[in-house]
Amino acid sequence: MDKVLIRELKIETVIGVYEWEKVIQQTLLVDLDMAWDNQKPAASDDYQHALCYETVSKRIIALISERPIELIETVAEMIANCVMTEFNVTWLKVKVMKPGAVPMAQAVGVEIERGQA
């Protein structure tokens, strides 16, 4: 299966369940694997046929920064819904990491897969 990938997309946003987290910005790192037929854009060398990782990245940052969110599970689900409906992606894997949330761990996070390949 062909994919378009985004790695360690950095999002600064209000995220967390505790009161002290609702008044600060924290960093999330997002990895995204999106099923996409890359043969068509490659054969034509035509951007119109490509899934633009830059457009997707900017949309995700705008979406997740627009309001406070408590759970990183919610972030993952919002990204999946947005990318599948707005960019016609039929399968994706989303990983959301929250570095620094648990001092003893480098990062903690969640991963979801949605759709059919």
Kindly list the catalytic residues: 98
Q: Does 21 bind ligand LV4SOB2L (CB under 6 A)?
A: yes
Identity of the residue, 35 or 97, whose beta carbon is nearer to ligand LV4SOB2L in the bound complex: 97
Identity of the residue, 37 or 66, whose beta carbon is nearer to ligand LV4SOB2L in the bound complex: 66
Question: Please, which of residues 40-69 interact with ligand LV4SOB2L by CB under 6 A?
Answer: none
Secondary structure in 3-state letters for the chain: CCEEEEEEEEEEECECCCHHHHHCCEEEEEEEEEECCCHHHHHHCCHHHCCCHHHHHHHHHHHHHCCCECCHHHHHHHHHHHHHHHCCCCEEEEEEEEECCCCCCCEEEEEEEEECC
Q: Which residues bind ligand LV4SOB2L (CB under 6 A)?
A: 16-18, 21, 71-73, 98, 101
